[in-house]
Every structure is written in C-alpha cells, then in structure tokens.
Chains A and B, each alone.
Chain A
Amino acid sequence: MYELRRIFFDLRRWLILLLIAAVNLALFAGYCRTVPEVTEQEQAAYETYLNGGYADYLERVSAQSDEQALLGTLRPATDFVTRNLQRTRADYARLAGTVVTAGENRGLRALCDFHITDYLLLIAPMLLAVSFAAERRTEITAMLRTAKKGRVPLTLWRMAALALLSAISVAVLYGSDLVFAHGFFGDPGYARTIQSSPDFQLCAYRVTVGGYLLRTAILKACAVWLISAAVWLIWGMLHTLPAAIGSGVLLGAQFLFWRLILPTSTRNPLKFCNLFAMLSPETFFLRYANLNIFGSPRGFLPGMITAGTVFGLLCTVLLIVLIGICRPMTLGAGAAAVTDRIAKFRSRHLQRLSRFGYEGRKILISEGGVLVLAAAGIWCVSLVRTVDVQLPLNYRIEQLYNRFEGEITEEKRADCQTQIAWYEGEIDEREKKIERLMDSPDPPLDWIQAIRDEIANLQEWLDLYRAFADRMDALTAYTAETGYDAWLVRQNGWQTLFTETAQVRRCCMALLIVTVFLFAPVMAYENRSGAGPLLRSTRHGRGGLLRCKLLWTALLVLITAAGFHAVYFAALQKTGMLVLPEAPMHSVDLLRFVPVHCSLRTAAAGLYLLRWLVTLAAALAVLLISRFSKNPQAALLTALSVLLLPAALAELGLPVPDPVRLLAISAQ
C-alpha cells in the first residue's frame, strides 16, 4: 500500500499526466475542427441507411454467404474459406432485428480516427515502468530486497500501480476526448446500437454505443498495461543497450505487423493478436474478419483477447520470477561492453576540442540533443507531406497578372485602358447585333443566346480589366500620397506568407516542443552533476562558458527554426504565388502599416529573422528555467508547463497567453 501511496502521491506524476492530457486535448480539438459538416448527400444516404438500408445489408450478407458457400461445395469440406463463410453468415444472422436509430456520428468517427491519443496513453505508464527498471540499477535495490516484503509483494504492488496508472491514463485522456467530442459534435446517443453509425455497419457484435466506448476503453487500458509491463520486464532484466534493442524489436515488430499485414492475409493472427491492435481496438468494431487458426475461423476480437490474456499471464509470471524473486541480472553484459568499447574508442581518438566544441558535445551527446534533432528532422519530413497550401486560382486573373504585374508604368495603364475600351466596344457591338436580331420577324434564339454568352464572357474580362485599372490607379495614388513605392503584385501568396495560418501554427507548435526538449536539460545538467562550482572556479568557466552555451542555443534554434519554417515556405513557393520578390513590400496591402521601405524578399527575410529571434527568446526562457532546476527532468516538466501548457490551452480556445502565437509572429 505504501508503494501505491509513494507512486500516486507524487505530484510530478500528476503534472506529467495533466500535461499529456492538455497536449492530447489540444491536438484532438484541432483534429475535430477539421471534421467537415455533413453534406446534404451524406444526410440523404444516412437516412436511407436508417430506413431499411442496414436491414438490406444484413440480408445481402446472408445471401452472398449462401451463394459463396454453394460455390464452396466444390472444394474440400475442411477448407477455411467455406467455414469462414458459414461463420460469417451465423455471426450476421445473430444481428437480425438490430434497430438502428439516428444520432450524431461524427464524434464517434473522430474518436476512432484520432490515434495520437493511443500513443500518448503509453507515456505515463511507460515512464513509471522505466523508473522501476532504473531503480534496479541503483544501490537502493539491495536495500529493498533485504526487506521482508521487498521482493514478490513489492513487485505485485508495482504491477498493481502500473495497472492503476494505465486505467487512470485511459480515463483521463480517452475520457477527455470523449467529453470534448460530446460537447463539440453533440450527444452521440449512448443507448443506440453501434450499427446506428454507418461506419460500424460491418460490426458483428450486439453492442450499444456506450458499451462500445466502455469496451474500447478497457481494452486500451489492458494494452497500455501489457506494453508497459513488457518494457519493465525487458529493462529490468537487461543492460541499457540490449534493453533498448529488445524493447525496440518487440514493440517495433508488433507495430509493423499491426500496420503492414493485410486483414485478409493468412498471417492476420499476427496483425490482430497484437498489442497495438489492442491499443486501437476500434478496428474490431469497424470491420469484420476471422482469424485462420489452423484452418478454423475464429473471431478476431476473442482471438485478440485470448492472446492478450496469455501475454499478460506470461508477463505476470516473468515479472514475479525475474524481477521479484531473482537477483538483479546482468543479462546483455556483452552489449554493455560494446558501448564501453565504443566510448573507449571515441576517447582514444578524440582530440581536445575547444570550449565551444565541448559545450556542443554536452548539448548534443550528453544531454541527448542529437536524438531531439533527429526526431525534429523526422517531424519536419512528415510535415513536408502534410503541409498543403491551397490558394484560390483563377486563370483569367492569372493572365492579367502575367500581363500587368510589376512596376506600374504609364504604358501599362494605357494598355489596360485600351483593353477596356476594346471590350466595351465589342460588348456594344454585340448588344446592337442582338437588338437587330430581335427586331427580325423570326429571331434566331439559339444565335442570340450564343451572342449573350459571348457578352457575358467579355463582360467578365471587362470587369477584370476595370478592377486591374482601378487597382493600378489606387497604387499610383498611394505612392504619390505616402512616398512608398507599390507595384501590382499577386496578393494571395504574399498575404499567406505574412499571415498566421493553421499550417504556420502547426510548424511553430512543433518548433516550440523541439525547443523545450532541446534546451531544458542544458543548464539543469550542470546542476544535477553539481559541477557548477567546479566550472565556475576555472578561468573561462563563467562568461566564456555561458557564451558558448548561448552560441549553441542560437545555432540550434537557427537550424530547427529554419527546418520547420522552410517546410512551410517551400510548400508556399511550390504554389507559384510568391512572384516578384523584388517588388516593394507596400505592394502587399497587409504590409502597408510597416513604416519601412524594402522589397518583399527583404520583408520575408525580416519576418523569418523575427520568428527566429522570438524562438531564440523562447529558448532563452527555457534555459532560464533550466538554470533554476535541479535536474533535466524537472527542467523539462517546468518548461513544458510554462510554455506548452498555455499553448495547448490556447489551442482549445481558452483565453490564455499563447506562446505559439508569438513564435508564429505575423503581419496580422
């Protein structure tokens, strides 16, 4: 009981959970906002589904099964396919009479599709599991193991704590998603059958929406417990390197099986009897499949539950035996020796670096900066795929811009006026022609209609030419009035660049997270080692050291900020709307308030410089937090609370100062 108290009375644990919940909710809220409204066509299709569509579907499944079973008689009776058809028919036959009723389905769909929550659920229990494993590497283990209840009872209490934390994580994170979806989309009707949502048409279980949500929550909690228990077991048994490899192989293989194996594959037991399948159990309700167990079809949900139970029992036994009863083992000492050899090799061949070099080494290697940068790089690459800047295009406007954009000259203005006069003349001529035709005894209506279409087309051009002429006049007047040059340039691209769009916010949120993870350990690392007084007693251990740290901070902020902003800029550049970068910045309406005369290229560079400086300021704030933290973990938590929590709350629409808004500084 004391162990539970020790674990759950630790404020930091709750703070971590709160932070994860806030970030999760912010991301889920952002996701919900992208779910489109139900169109009329979709609503009509839904009504058809409710009014007999689902019953028809059940009949169709039955008929298809019969037909296919008939074909199957040509095959041997033991064939899996034949048995599978029989089972499918039987499963769906049990659903006869299922009543489907109308209700709000978008929240359910959002809950099914948003898998980030599933992965965030793992963080707090995994941290606890790793802390148990890390304790086995310290002297306290010997002390605990000499106590009367320091072996098996302690292991059992810890397993219980892990289970409890898994359940709490699911309740907090999944629960907050559910509450938000309820509030955002409306009541999903918890008493309805799950088949009331067309997304769950294939579901072969008789279950209500509430029952489905409860079952998925329980399965998720079980999966979280199993994964964290497996991690505890591996990290408790092995040295760091083999433990990292072992857990990586186990979880990586499970994840790949889950993602890559087709549901209809004969190897589908690997896909469905899987930890990640249990973590995202929505699949078992969204689709229908049977496992091929030695030629016999078995339901994939019971199969997964059986596999999970076996795995859970195995984990329990192994934890009791290997962690509870056996002495701390040194399995994988060979691999640990490899890391030592690598360190020795590095040390032997290392030349003395400069102070700057050593600070970089500390930030990148000792404090794990390289890993954060690698993760940031992967994130950047993933953003390349998701950043999609769509700008409204109109080929007529494009043509006119191609003709008139740039510096406004008298020739261009005259040319525009000539075009206007020509279109006016053409329209005039055609109107007169229509009048003449109308006066005839038998007016050719088709011909007249064709001429009217021509007029409409010419009128559109005329309106555009007039708009361009007006714009050129206005820009000329603006230049005369203010003394700032203004050219005719396409506004969309540049305005998007200088605006805080959702994409920019996403990049800046990523940048903020990377900044916090990269710089939170920098000063706290020295505090934890207690090396501060030693360093400060050296000749260059004060200003010189600080300068090196600040230089690295500036450099790394430059690299990460350039990476994330370049992704967005490149996406924008690809649209071809960022033309005439040499044009004066006042050519873009959004930038008129800036009392400086420079080109759009310089203004864009200034914007990114400003964003870099703001990010640098955020990094310095993180360093300051780190300076007053006793260890990197505390610094990370504090920085996350100070910078990321308000950003997450602001993302939810709460009126709090938003650091991301600062990072995404724009002309708005």
Chain B
Amino acid sequence: MHKLELINLTKQYGAHKALDAVTVTLSPGVTGLLGANGAGKSTLMKLMTDNLRRTAGEIRYDGTDILKLGAKWRGCVGYTPQLQSVYDDFSAKEFLYYMSALKGMKRRDAKAQTEELLALVNLTADAHRRLGTFSGGMRQRALLAASLLGRPEVLILDEPTAGLDPDERIRLRNYIAELAQERIVLLATHVVSDIESIAGQVMLLHRGKCQACDTPEALRRQAAGRIGEYRGSYEEIKALQAEHPRGELTVRGDSFVLRIAADPLPEGCTPVTEIGLEDVFRLMTGGMQDV
C-alpha cells in the first residue's frame, strides 16, 4: 500500500509563512482538504507537485523524497489545477492527446484512455470542440480527465467540481471515490458536501497550519457540544451576531435562527446533535472566511 508523508512541510515568502510545519500522512482513499482562501491549500498542492521550492520539510512517497524521485514521482501523479483558460484552440481530445504525450504514454494506451475518460467526464459529444468554446464546468471536466490519464497512483485535485452542475458533481464524486479505492487522492474543494460524502480523512488548514487531520466522524465528535442554535427575534439575533460574527443565520418562518460554533456556547443556545464538517471548520478555524 502506497504512502505519502508530508513531514514538517514549510513554505515561507519572506516573513510570511504560507505553510507552517505541516505533518500529515496520506494513504489510499480520499483526503479532503478544507481551508479558507489564502489558508495554503494551493501552496501545499504546488509543493506536492514540485511546482514550488519548499523552505523546509520533506515529502516522501513510499519512504523516498519526491525530489529524489523526480520524473518518476511526476509519472505517478495526476494533477488538476484551477484553470480558467487552457489552450483555447485545442479540442478536448487534442488536449488529452497532448497531455498523454507529456505523460509519456504509448499512443495506443493514450487513444483508449482518452476515449474512456472523455466518456467518464461526459465530454464524448464535445470531444472535437475547441476548449475556447467550453463553459467553465466543461473545461474543469476536461482538466480532470487529463489528470486521470495514465492511471496515476496519486491524484491531487484542486477544486475539481467547481462550476459543475449537481448531476455532474455527483457523477464525478462517485468516480473519484471509486478511484480512491487503490489510490491516494487529495481533494481540495469549497463544496464541503463533496468531502463529507467521500473523504475518509479530512485535513483542516488555517493560516498555513494544519489545525486537524482526522476522519470526518472523529472531527464531528470533537465538535460535539460546541455547536448550537439560538432562536429569537431579529434584534436579539443581531445583538448575538455582533459577538459571534461567524454564526450562520437562517430564517424559519417569522423567527430567525443563528447557528453558532463556540466553546463555550452562549447562554440560551441549544446544542445540536447533527454536526456537519462546515460546523467543524468554523469551530476550528474561528473565522467568517469563505469555506
């Protein structure tokens, strides 16, 4: 069984630490990566794909540093970055062929896998259309297909479901879960439900630090008793919101409900039993940031 270890991984830009001594071990299965904007998710992914020079620490794949593995490591990795424009004059099929050439795949394998992956991401009908005419979601699917070429052992996916409609998202999520049976998948997303449903492990990044890395159940358990709801008038809610700006407001008929993640919970707040990863994230990162 393959193992990917991040040991004291640090990336520093001048005085600013974008990633601060992150230590995590990834094994086959989906590891969800949650973090606010600027938390260090993309930096972590760039370090893992050796697109960025690390300041300190190590990334070991099966015990060997990925820098030592070099091209061999890159041969094991499939990476989906967040891109809005990729070679607009390439057709989807041409783009996959191009990526297969860069991955060093044989022509016959490339052809077979291209057809298969285009079908998987539901782009067969648009295989010959130029990427420039694709919508954001279609482009994202093309990129995901490209990262899956060559059946990589490690998949690093940065927002792979961004811009997809619900059906597509579920389809892809299922496929990623299927792939993760025998692969290491690191999945960064803002759609917490994607992680909740398929991630075996969740990693919470906050200001470059790994706040927690555990199974979703364990994280939920840790948050038990610290997530509550306050029901009241608009004025009461407004007053409470001033103290707990990260509270999530919902309107239920004429009354308002504020869902708060705090330790201890404020007076009058009823602890809830159904805790989501979003609550855990709010509790552990302590901010109103975009999830």
Within 8 A of B (CB), among A533-586: 533-542, 544-545
Chain A neighbourhood of B178, CB < 8 A: none
Q: Interface digits, B51-87 against A, CB 8 Å rule (1 contact, 0 not)?
A: 1000000000000000000010011010101011111
Chain B neighbourhood of A454, CB < 8 A: none
Partner of B46, one of A351, A352, A533: A533
Who on chain A is nearest to B130 by CB? Answer: A343
Report yes or no: B87 in contact with A343, Cβ–Cβ below 8 A.
no
Any chain A CB within 8 A of the CB of B272?
A: no
Report the Cα distance A531→B130, complex, angstroms.
Answer: 16
Report yes or no: A537 in contact with B50, Cβ–Cβ below 8 A.
yes
Q: How many residues of chain A get a CB closer than 8 Å to chain B's CBs? A: 34
Q: Interface digits, B130-173 against A, CB 8 Å rule (1 contact, 0 not)?
A: 10010000000001001000000000100000000000000000
Partner of A340, one of B83, B110, B129: B129
Report the Cα distance A304→B46, complex, angstroms.
Answer: 63
Any chain A CB within 8 A of the CB of B111?
A: yes
Chain B neighbourhood of A340, CB < 8 A: 129-130, 133
Report yes or no: B85 in contact with A528, Cβ–Cβ below 8 A.
yes
Chain A neighbourhood of B111, CB < 8 A: 352
Report the Cα distance A21→B77, complex, angstroms.
Answer: 50
Any chain A CB within 8 A of the CB of B270?
A: no
Report yes or no: A350 in contact with B87, Cβ–Cβ below 8 A.
no
Report the Cα distance A540→B99, complex, angstroms.
Answer: 10
Who on chain A is nearest to B97 by CB? Answer: A352
Who on chain B is nearest to A530 by CB? Answer: B83
Query: Which of A51-59, A353-361, A372-380 forms contacts with chain B?
Result: A353-361
Report yes or no: B104 in contact with A540, Cβ–Cβ below 8 A.
yes
Interface centre among B50, B88, B89, B102 (most CB of A within 10 A): B102
Chain B neighbourhood of A531, CB < 8 A: 83, 86-87
Report yes or no: B79 in contact with A347, Cβ–Cβ below 8 A.
no
Who on chain B is nearest to A544 by CB? Answer: B102
Nearest CB of A to B146, in Å? 8
Who on chain B is nearest to A354 by CB? Answer: B101
Report yes or no: A541 in contact with B128, Cβ–Cβ below 8 A.
no
Chain B neighbourhood of A545, CB < 8 A: 102
Nearest CB of B to A143, in Å? 17
Nearest CB of A to B290, in Å? 21
Report yes or no: B49 in contact with A533, Cβ–Cβ below 8 A.
yes
Within 8 A of B (CB), among A479-520: none
Chain A neighbourhood of B83, CB < 8 A: 529-531, 534
Any chain B CB within 8 A of the CB of A362?
A: yes
Report yes or no: B97 in contact with A535, Cβ–Cβ below 8 A.
no
A539-B129 contact given A347-B93, A534-B86, CB 8 Å threshold: no
Partner of B97, one of A343, A353, A529: A353
Report yes or no: B94 in contact with A347, Cβ–Cβ below 8 A.
yes
Any chain B CB within 8 A of the CB of A366?
A: yes
Nearest CB of B to A439, in Å? 97
Chain B neighbourhood of A432, CB < 8 A: none
Report yes or no: B89 in contact with A365, Cβ–Cβ below 8 A.
yes
Any chain A CB within 8 A of the CB of B127?
A: yes
Chain B neighbourhood of A354, CB < 8 A: 101
Report yes or no: A539 in contact with B133, Cβ–Cβ below 8 A.
no
Q: Interface digits, A245-268 against B, CB 8 Å rule (1 contact, 0 not)?
A: 000000000000000000000000
Chain A neighbourhood of B99, CB < 8 A: 538
Report yes or no: B49 in contact with A366, Cβ–Cβ below 8 A.
no
Chain A neighbourhood of B90, CB < 8 A: 366
Nearest CB of B to A278, in Å? 37
Report yes or no: A539 in contact with B102, Cβ–Cβ below 8 A.
yes
Chain A neighbourhood of B127, CB < 8 A: 347
Any chain A CB within 8 A of the CB of B259?
A: no
Within 8 A of A (CB), among B157-199: none
Any chain A CB within 8 A of the CB of B10?
A: no
Report yes or no: A536 in contact with B51, Cβ–Cβ below 8 A.
yes
Any chain B CB within 8 A of the CB of A149?
A: no
Any chain A CB within 8 A of the CB of B234?
A: no
Chain A neighbourhood of B130, CB < 8 A: 340, 343
A350-B94 contact given A355-B101, A366-B87, A540-B103, CB 8 Å threshold: yes
Report yes or no: B79 in contact with A534, Cβ–Cβ below 8 A.
yes
Any chain B CB within 8 A of the CB of A348?
A: yes
Report yes or no: A536 in contact with B101, Cβ–Cβ below 8 A.
no
Any chain B CB within 8 A of the CB of A403?
A: no
Chain B neighbourhood of A396, CB < 8 A: none
Nearest CB of A to B141, in Å? 15
Any chain B CB within 8 A of the CB of A344?
A: yes
A352-B49 contact given A344-B128, A537-B79, CB 8 Å threshold: no
Who on chain A is nearest to B94 by CB? Answer: A347
Report the Cα distance A352→B110, complex, angstroms.
Answer: 8
Nearest CB of A to B69, in Å? 11
Report the Cα distance A357→B102, complex, angstroms.
Answer: 11
Report yes or no: B91 in contact with A347, Cβ–Cβ below 8 A.
yes
Report the Cα distance A355→B99, complex, angstroms.
Answer: 9
Partner of B71, one of A528, A534, A539: A539
Report yes or no: B91 in contact with A539, Cβ–Cβ below 8 A.
no
Chain A neighbourhood of B50, CB < 8 A: 536-537
Report the Cα distance A529→B77, complex, angstroms.
Answer: 21
Report yes or no: B102 in contact with A343, Cβ–Cβ below 8 A.
no
Chain A neighbourhood of B133, CB < 8 A: 340
Chain B neighbourhood of A533, CB < 8 A: 46, 49, 51, 79, 81
Report yes or no: B85 in contact with A530, Cβ–Cβ below 8 A.
yes
Chain A neighbourhood of B128, CB < 8 A: 343-344, 347-348
Report the Cα distance A352→B79, complex, angstroms.
Answer: 21
Chain B neighbourhood of A365, CB < 8 A: 89
Report yes or no: B49 in contact with A530, Cβ–Cβ below 8 A.
no
Chain B neighbourhood of A535, CB < 8 A: 102
Partner of A537, one of B77, B98, B104: B77
Chain B neighbourhood of A536, CB < 8 A: 49-51
Nearest CB of A to B132, in Å? 9
Interface centre among A340, A351, A541 (most CB of B within 10 A): A541
Nearest CB of B to A97, in Å? 67
Any chain A CB within 8 A of the CB of B2?
A: no
Chain B neighbourhood of A347, CB < 8 A: 91, 93-94, 127-128
Who on chain A is nearest to B51 by CB? Answer: A533
Any chain A CB within 8 A of the CB of B100?
A: yes
Report the Cα distance A531→B156, complex, angstroms.
Answer: 15
Report yes or no: B101 in contact with A362, Cβ–Cβ below 8 A.
no
Report the Cα distance A539→B105, complex, angstroms.
Answer: 10
Any chain A CB within 8 A of the CB of B221?
A: no
Nearest CB of A to B74, in Å? 5
Nearest CB of A to B11, in Å? 14
Nearest CB of B to A266, in Å? 48
Report the Cα distance A536→B98, complex, angstroms.
Answer: 13
Report yes or no: A343 in contact with B81, Cβ–Cβ below 8 A.
no
Report yes or no: B74 in contact with A538, Cβ–Cβ below 8 A.
yes
Chain A neighbourhood of B84, CB < 8 A: 530
Report the Cα distance A432→B255, complex, angstroms.
Answer: 139
Nearest CB of B to A50, in Å? 63
Report yes or no: B74 in contact with A539, Cβ–Cβ below 8 A.
yes
Report yes or no: A358 in contact with B101, Cβ–Cβ below 8 A.
yes
Across the A-B interface, give the 10 residue pairs with the lowest CB-CB distance, nearest first. Answer: A347-B91, A347-B128, A537-B49, A344-B128, A537-B79, A538-B102, A352-B97, A539-B75, A533-B51, A539-B104
Q: Known pairs A534-B83, A541-B74. 17 more at Cβ < 8 A?
A: A340-B133, A343-B129, A350-B94, A350-B97, A352-B97, A352-B101, A366-B87, A529-B88, A530-B81, A530-B84, A534-B146, A536-B49, A537-B74, A538-B74, A538-B99, A541-B102, A542-B74
Q: What are 14 A-B pairs with beta-carbon distances under 8 A?
A: A343-B91, A347-B94, A347-B127, A347-B128, A350-B97, A354-B101, A358-B98, A366-B90, A529-B83, A532-B51, A533-B51, A534-B86, A537-B50, A541-B102
